[in-house]
Amino acid sequence: MKRRSLLFTVLFLLTHFVLTAQNSGKGPDAVLGRYWTPTKNAKIEIYKEGAKYYGKTVWTERSGVDTLNPDPRKRNQSLLGLVFLTNFTYDDGKYVDGQIYDPQNGNIYSCKMWLEPDGDLKARGYIGISLFGRTEVFEKIEE
What is the C-alpha separation between 126 and 111, in angstroms, rounded?
A: 6
Q: So what's the pLDDT on residue 11?
A: 35
Which residue in 111, 134, 126 sits closest to 55, CA to CA?
A: 111
Q: Pick the closest to residue 109 from 76, 92, 134 (CA basis).
A: 134
pLDDT in tens, 66-80: 998 888 998 999 999
Contact 44, 35 (CB under 8 A): yes
DSSP letter, residue 73:
G
Phi, psi of 93 (to 5 degrees): 90, -5
Please, is 3 exposed, middle or buried when counting C-beta atoms within 10 Å of its C-beta (0-12, 13-18, 19+)?
Answer: exposed
Q: Are 67 and 78 in contact (CB under 8 A)?
A: no
Asked if 100 contacts 123 with a C-beta cutoff of 8 angstroms, the reply is yes
3-state class percentages of the chain: helix first, strand second, coil last, to nearest 5: 20, 45, 35
Give tens-digit pLDDT for 101-125: 998 899 999 999 999 999 999 999 9
The pLDDT assigned to 142 comes to: 86
- The structure's pTM equals 0.79
What are the residues facing 13 on neighbouring strands?
Answer: none
Calculate what percentage of the chain has a pLDDT beyond 90.
70
